[in-house]
Amino acid sequence: MSRGFEDRAADWIRFARAEGHDAYWAYRDAFFELLPPPPARALEVGCGEGRVTRDLRGRGYEVTGLDVAPTLVEAARDADPSGTYVVGDAAALPFDDASFDLVVSYNSLIDVDDMPAAVTEAGRVLRSGGCFCACVPHPFSEAGEFTSNDADAAFIVECSYLQEADYELVSERNGIVFHFVSRRFPLESYARALEGAGLAIEALREPPLPGVDRHRRMRMPLFLLWRTVKLETRRPD
């Protein structure tokens, strides 16, 4: 995972740019509602081909998109020539302390080599009072699965929710195929990383699937969203 999606860049570009294809299009508004309002100098960590950064720029934020995969960064630049996109490692951000008002991570913490280090770096580059906002696959939802696609299907957890674990998933729909290789974390792992980075949880959301009346995702959230704020560092007396 050290090179992100570099070996699957073409597949990810096809996946991410098929409007309405994946859950991003249904859940992005719930995520954007958590963000502090613009203007703000923002960094997106794990920007991929740039769709979140483009959406943020369209909403008035001044955004730098960062990804470890050079091919995806190039694709992001091609799609948004006036934007700012850089190649970099989430666990060693190439920016000074307190450089940003907002750091955003949309489903990228599951794909970095060292999640706690990435969270620590997000905290480092934030100014005091700045926000780190993230979306991650819901920890409990990722630990199990529904027995069918029925709205009232049972949800079964056979492994241990409490253990971190690597997993693979192949999405194949409408002729678009993408191979995910990611890592699942329990909520405590995320909470400990945030605590260690001096980031206090200010808002937490578990949005149901929008726009439907009867669906299994009305009972079990697909994503966990949060807004954290960087605490002021007190100097020793």
Residue 212: its pLDDT value, please? 85
121-144 confidence digits (pLDDT tens): 999 999 999 999 999 999 999 889
Residue 1: its pLDDT value, please? 40
Residue 116, token pair as written in the block: 């706690």
Contacts for 177-182 with beta carbons within 8 Å, 24 or more apart? 177/11, 178/8, 178/11, 178/12, 178/14, 178/15, 179/8, 179/11, 181/1, 181/111, 182/1, 182/110, 182/111, 182/137
Residue 235: its pLDDT value, please? 54
Measure the CA–CA gap between 151 and 104, rounded to whole angstroms.
32
Mean pLDDT value of segment 200-212: 94
Measure the CA–CA gap between 80 and 73, rounded to whole angstroms.
10
Residue 70: its pLDDT value, please? 98
Residue 222's Cβ-side half-sphere holds a number of Cα atoms within 13 Å equal to: 16
32-89 confidence digits (pLDDT tens): 999 999 999 999 999 999 999 999 999 999 999 999 999 999 999 999 999 999 999 9
0.85 exceeded by the pTM? yes
Per domain, the residue ranges of the chain are: 6-138+186-230
146-180 confidence digits (pLDDT tens): 999 999 999 999 889 999 999 998 999 999 999 99
φ, ψ at 112 (rounded to 5°): -95, 160
pLDDT band for 234, please (50, 70, 90 cuts): low
Residue 2 has pLDDT above 70, yes or no: no
5-32 confidence digits (pLDDT tens): 999 999 999 999 999 999 999 999 999 9
Topology classification of domain 6-138+186-230: Rossmann fold (3.40.50)
